[in-house]
Amino acid sequence: MDHFLYRDGELHAEGVAIADIAATVGTPFYVYSTATLTRHYRLFTEALSPLPHLVCFAIKSLSNVAVLKVLGDLGAGMDVVSGGEYMRARAAGVPGDRIVFSGVGKTKPEMRLALEGGIRQFNVESEPELRALSEVCVSMGVRAPITIRVNPDVDAKTHEKIATGKKENKFGIPIDRASAVYAEAAALPGLQVIGIDVHIGSQLTDLAPFEAAYLKVADLTHRLRAEGHTITRLDLGGGLGIPYERSNEAPPLPLDYGALIKRTVGDLGCEIEIEPGRLISGNAGLLVASVIYVKNGEDRDFLILDAAMNDLIRPAMYGAHHDIVPVVEPAAGAAQQPFDVVGPVCETGDTFAKARHLTAQQPGDLVAFRSAGAYGAVMASEYNTRPLIPEILVKDDHFAVIRARPTFDEILGRDTIPYWL
C-alpha cells in the first residue's frame, strides 16, 4: 500500500495535490511520501521482531539525504556501497555503528573513510579485499568487524542483470570455499570476524530462493562455529520484490519473509540484519511528467513526455514495467486507447511503454509513473544535457524540494576549457 491516491478526482501524495507540486516546481519531478517510507520500514521491523535485528536501508535504491533522515530517525541502519553513500548516511545523521559497507570493489580510501567515521561492519567479498582491509586497519591501528559475503549458488529467478547469487556472478566467495577464506580472515591482524553475509538478487517475487540461501547460511553457521569462529551476526541482504504491475502481481509480504527468516536462521542466536531497498523506497515514489505532444504515427500513437530515459532508465535498461496513471482521475468507464509512451531523448530506446492503454491525453496533461522511488532518481543522468530533475518530499499536507533542479549555468559551470583552447 502507498499514499498516492485520487482525492476529489486528482492524484495526491498524502495530503498534497500532485498538480500543486507541478505548478510550483515544474515537470518532470520525483515525489516521495514520508508515510509510505515509514510504513514500509516498520513492516520489516515488525516482521523480524522479536529477533534482535537491524533493518539497513539499501541507500543505492534512493539516496537523497532527506529520505535517509526520515528512515534514520526511525532507527534504521544503512547499507552503503561507496564512499559517497557512506557520506550521505552520515550527512543524514546516521551513526557509524548503524552503517554496513557492502560492495565488490571497495577502495582503500573508502575503507579509511568508513573506519575514521565509524562503521558497524564491512561485508567483504573476496580474499584480496580481506587483505587490503586488514592492511588499512593495521596502518590505522584499528580492527574492523567483518562478515564475508558468501555466494550460495542459488537461482534468484529474477532479471539476469540483477541476480547476484549464482556462481557465475561476480559477488561473494563460493560457499564451498568458506572454510578456507574464514580461516585466512581469522589469521589477519586487522580483522575481527563476526558473521556471514549473503544477498542473492533484487526484485525477487518468490520466497523459495531466499529459503534455499538462508538454509545454506544456517548450515555454514554451524560449520564455521565448529571450526572455531565466532558468528554472532547474519546479514541476509535485500531483494524482496514489489508489485510493479498492480493489476496482476502479488509478491510475498514482508511478514511472510520475516517468518521465513525466523524459520531458517531464527534459532542460531545471531543478530539479524537485512538490507531492503526497493521494498521500502519503490512504492514510496512517483515520477511526474507532462505530455508535450500527442503524435499520431502511421500505425500507432505516441505520447511524448517531458521525462525521458535519463530520468528513469529502468524500462530502457531492464524492460521494466511501471504503471502510468493520469494525474486527473479518468471518469469511470472512460474509453482508453493504446499509446507508445516515449521521452524526447534521441534514441528509440527512450521508450517507457509500448501499446499502453490510457485515456485520451492532451499536451500539458500530467501523468505519473508509479513505483518509481527505487532505482529512479539514483540512476538518472544528464544525457542530452537534460538537467537532473527535482526531488520532492511530502509529509501530510506539506511538501519540500529536497533536491532542486540545477540551472544551465550550474551544469555548464562543471565543464572547464583547457588552457590551450
Active site residues: 346
SS3 8: coil
Q: What are phi and psi of 292, to 5 degrees?
A: -90, -55
Q: Is 216 in the site for ligand LLP (CB under 6 A)?
A: no
SS3 118: coil
The residue whose grid cell reads 509510505 is 36
Using the contact rule CB under 6 A, the part of the chain among 40-48, 132-140, 236-244, 388-396 near ligand LLP is: 236-244
Helices vs. strands in the chain: H and E counts, helices first: 12, 21
CA 241 to chain centre: 11
CB of 275 to ligand LLP, least distance (A): 4
CB of 274 to ligand LLP, least distance (A): 8
The residue among 151 and 202 lying less far from ligand LLP, judged by its C-beta, is: 202
Q: Are 345 and 386 in contact (CB under 8 A)?
A: yes
Contact pick of 40, 120, 233, 278 for ligand LLP (by CB under 6 A): 278
Q: What are phi and psi of 121, to 5 degrees?
A: -170, 155
Q: How far apart are CA 369 and CA 325, in angstroms?
A: 7
The residue among 4 and 101 lying less far from ligand LLP, judged by its C-beta, is: 101
The residue among 202 and 361 lying less far from ligand LLP, judged by its C-beta, is: 202
Residue numbers 143-172 binding ligand LLP by CB under 6 A: 162
Q: Is 276 in the site for ligand LLP (CB under 6 A)?
A: yes
Contact code string over 294-323 relative to ligand LLP, x by CB under 6 A:
--------------------x---x-----
Cis status, amide bond into 50, omega within 30 of 0: yes
The residue among 71 and 279 lying less far from ligand LLP, judged by its C-beta, is: 279
The residue among 209 and 326 lying less far from ligand LLP, judged by its C-beta, is: 209
Contact code string over 87-126 relative to ligand LLP, x by CB under 6 A:
---------------x------------------------
Q: How far apart are CA 79 and CA 11, in angstroms?
A: 32
Q: Is 239 in the site for ligand LLP (CB under 6 A)?
A: yes
Contact pick of 165, 238, 315, 343 for ligand LLP (by CB under 6 A): 238
Q: Are 206 and 157 in contact (CB under 8 A)?
A: yes
- Number of chain positions touching ligand LLP (CB under 6 A): 21
> And the C-alpha cell for 311?
530520468
User: Could you count the other beta carbons within 10 Å of the beta carbon of residue 245?
Assistant: 11
> And the C-alpha cell for 21?
507540486
CB of 162 to ligand LLP, least distance (A): 5
Q: Are 23 and 366 in contact (CB under 8 A)?
A: no
Contact code string over 41-60 relative to ligand LLP, x by CB under 6 A:
-----------------x-x
Q: Is 375 in the site for ligand LLP (CB under 6 A)?
A: yes
Q: Is 202 in the site for ligand LLP (CB under 6 A)?
A: yes
Q: How far apart are CA 361 and CA 370, in angstroms?
A: 18
Q: How far apart are CA 45 and CA 62, in angstroms?
A: 19
Contact pick of 29, 64, 76, 79 for ligand LLP (by CB under 6 A): 79
Closest CA to 10 of 372, 245, 288: 288
Using the Cα atoms of residue 344, residue 349, residue 351 and residue 356 in order, give the sign of their dihedral: positive
Q: Is 203 in the site for ligand LLP (CB under 6 A)?
A: yes
The residue among 275 and 391 lying less far from ligand LLP, judged by its C-beta, is: 275
Which positions touch ligand LLP (CB under 6 A)? 58, 60-61, 79, 102, 162, 199, 202-203, 237-239, 275-279, 314, 318, 374-375
